[in-house]
Structure formats: structure tokens, C-alpha cells
Amino acid sequence: MKPLNSHFKDQLSLHFIVFIWGFTAILGRYISIDALSLVFNRTALTSVAIAVYMIWKKRPFKASAKELWFMALCGVLIAMHWITFFGAIKIANVSITLAGVSTGALFSALLNPLLNKGKLDLIELALGAIVVVGIVIVFYEEPNATTIKTYTWSGYTLTNYQLGLLIALFSASLSASFSILNKQLVARYPLPVQVTFWELSFAFIGVALYDLIAGSHNPMSLWATVTTDWWYLVVLALLCTAYPFIKSVELLKRLSPFSVMLAINLEPVYGILLAALLFGAEENMKPQFYFGVLIILGTVIANGIIKAQKRKSGS
């Protein structure tokens, strides 16, 4: 049996990682470049950091062509998730975005049967319906912030907060799709750090190709030019991306998946509290918003508890 002090240190490390992930949204708010440029810089810096780590640890880079294609697909998905995530932050705010993205676990529960050709769980479907209630409450909540803008498209008018929430929900579905496919890959591939290196490298290449074809036609223009942006990007790439991944892989060897899942569900809580502390009025939401977020997070945690009990009973 593991000593209590060792277990406590692992739990502390896990929550520190989740806190760092919650801080990712804060950095996205501080960085001045647009979402596409942000992800271009983030994936470039993180890929280099993980490559250095792999060389230091003498890990191989080689992978089969079939696996590389699968990693490329996962890389494009994670790039799209990050672009929509940071895009939602810049359109709305951190709190709205984290409320939307926190539905990722429920999206995963609903999408998993489709991507893995399994049966749809009626309990998960019911929990998904409850989450919709929380989303509707958040969607129609009128924030106290004075930075409200309106967008009109095809006769429909949305506030920047409503548009940001919709983008965040799409981002959550992308994150869930990535997690499901990535789990398939990692299950048959013995080197998760190598998988992440290739996925982030392909994410970087994907963003560069998109900008070359449909954007500015000059991916070099995506590099950050402001000194403060570079400092934030280095923190984002090294402290908020490379380090948490490598450390979380290590912790997964000692902690149960359920413990990890429960801790990760606290990410939006940390992020929303940090946003309220750092940005004040811009993140000042009415009580209805927090009630909606509690419904979403409570349902996600309930889903994890039900799954853990099912695994324990063998059903």
C-alpha cells in the first residue's frame, strides 16, 4: 500500500496541474494576438519543448505511416479545439467559455457510442438533457458586464456572450472527439509522450497550411511580435501544456482514472474564480450564470461517479 504522504503529494500535484489548466484561459485573455496565431505559436513552442524532452530521455520519434495519419487527424482536432476555445474567450469572456467547455465529458459520453460503435447509455442521455438545462440558463443569462456587443446573422441576433457560448460548446465537442480517438491511439501505442509530440506537430502544420490556403497566405505572419505576448506564450507552452501533460502521464501510473477525472472537473471552477479575481467587471456574472454552471458541473461529476460504480460492479 502506498504511504499516505506519497498519495497526498500525488493528489497535490494533480490539483496543481488542473489549476494550471484553469490558468490557460486566463493567459488566452491576456495574449493580444488572435486565436489562430495563438494556437500556431502554442503548438510550435510545445512541440519543440516535448522534442527536447524526448531527446533528453532518449525516446524514439519513429512511428508507422498508418499511425502518423491517425495522429494527424487527432492533431487537427486539437488545433480546432484550441482555436475555438481561445476564439470564444476573445468574443465573450473566460467564465462563459469555461462554462461551455466544461460540457466536454458529457459530449464524450454521447459521442463515444458513435465513434466506437457502441450502445447509447440511457442514463448518459438523461444526464445530457440535464446539462442542456444548465446551458440554456447560461445562454439566456444577462451578464452585469458592460462589454456587451450584438451580432446579426441570417436574421438572428446574438450577444457576444451567447455567440461565445455556442463556440465554446462546439469546442467541447471537438475536445471530446479528440479524447475518444486519442484514447484509441494511446491504448495500442506504448509511448504517449511520442503521440503528443506528433499530434502537436501536426496541429502546428495544420494551422500553417490553413493560413497558407485560406488565411493570410503567409504563415510567417502568425508569429507573435509583441514581447509581452511572447512571455505569455512561453508560459502557456511550457508550464500550461508540456509540463502538465508529461506530469499527468506519470501520475496516471499511480492514481485511479476516477480520481483524475474528478480533479479535472474542477478546471472550470479554478478558471472562473481566477477570471473574477483578475478581470473584475468583465467577468461579473449574475447568480443565474453560476446556478447554470453548477448544474453542468454537478451533472458531469455525477456521470463520473455512475461510471465508476458501474466499473466497480462489473456491469
Number of domain units in the chain:
1
In a domain, 3, yes or no: no
pLDDT at 145: 60
- Tell whether 260 is covered by a domain: yes
Q: Any residues with CB less than 8 A from the CB of 36 and at least 6 apart, and which?
A: 83, 207, 210, 211, 215, 222
Q: Is residue 1 part of a domain?
A: no
Beta-strand relationship, 156-159 and 150-153: antiparallel
Average pLDDT over residues 283-307: 82
In the chain, what percentage of residues exceed pLDDT 70? 92
Output the pTM of the full model: 0.88
Q: Which amino acid is at 128?
A: G
pLDDT of residue 302: 82
Distance (Å, whole) CA 58 – CA 135 = 46
pLDDT the model gives residue 1: 47
Domain membership flag for residue 51 = yes
Residue 2 lies in a domain: no
What does the pLDDT look like over 66-75, one tens digit per residue?
889 999 999 9
Q: Do the domain assignments include residue 125?
A: yes
Cell readout for 285 is: 456574472
Q: With 90 as the cut, is the pLDDT of residue 127 above it?
A: no
> Higher confidence at residue 141 or residue 173?
173
In-domain check, residue 79: yes
pLDDT at 300 over 90: no
pLDDT of 182 above 70: yes
Residue span of the structural domain in which 47 resides: 9-313
What pLDDT sits at residue 184? 80
Task: Please tell me which residue, 113 or 255, carries the higher pLDDT value.
Answer: 113
What average pLDDT does this structure show over 113-127? 77
Answer yes or no: is 21 within a domain.
yes
